[in-house]
Amino acid sequence: MLCLLKVLLLLSAVAQAQSFDKLKLSIPLPEFKINSGFGNRTHPVTRSMNVFHAGIDLYARSDTVFAILPGKVIKVSCDLITGNYIIIAHGAYSSVYGHLSNSFVSVGDLVASGTSIAISGHTGRVTGEHLHFGIKHKRRFIDPLRMLYLFGKLNGYELYLFLNDLVEFEKDSCPGD
């Protein structure tokens, strides 16, 4: 009986580990080439200085766009700036994909990491085709490159904890003497 219990526990641990296996980062395009970074910049269209860029711009040419993590599509919309865009929620974080020509998902869809969600394009205010890619933590835009680097380093279980704000990483400050 005890032995059976042990086997069952082992099986459930394996099943749990496998479910976290699917929680891994995928890059948003087949090729990752940055045209423009996150933060203040001179705007490429208006030429205004010190305009906050809420994401990064990635080189794209009618490429398939992939969901970076498993999540739920919370917005499929269009505006004059970002053009056609998609927002996917992943726990406390969300990812934004803009200037799309075509989207394959609808609000409420559940996607896996690497699911094809759209085709890149040049809708909205652009000088040329690219993918605008952003990451938000709750309501605040954060540096997507830093987050992609971090997400890529975590295993499935660590990523699950992190995305749901169940752990916070230590800041580089002295904890005291």
# binding residues, Zn ion (CB under 5 A): 2
Alpha-carbon distance of 62 to 118, in angstroms, equals 10
Pick 90 or 132: Cβ nearer Zn ion: 132
Under rule CB under 5 A, residue 57 binds Zn ion: yes
Residue 17 gets the label, from left (phi > 0), alpha (psi -120 to 50) or beta, of alpha
| Minimum distance, C-beta of residue 52 to Zn ion, in the bound complex (Å) | 11
Other C-beta atoms closer than 10 Å to the C-beta of 32 total 13
Token pair of 92 as six digits: 């406390």
CB of 54 to Zn ion, least distance (A): 7
Structure tokens at 12: 């459930």
Residue 136 touching Zn ion (CB under 5 A):
no
Q: Using the rule CB under 5 A, is 132 a contact of Zn ion? A: yes
- Residues 152-171 interacting with Zn ion (rule: CB under 5 A): none
Q: Count the neighbouring beta carbons within 10 Å of the beta carbon of residue 53.
A: 18
Nearer to Zn ion, 37 or 156 (CB): 37
Residues that bind Zn ion (CB under 5 A): 57, 132
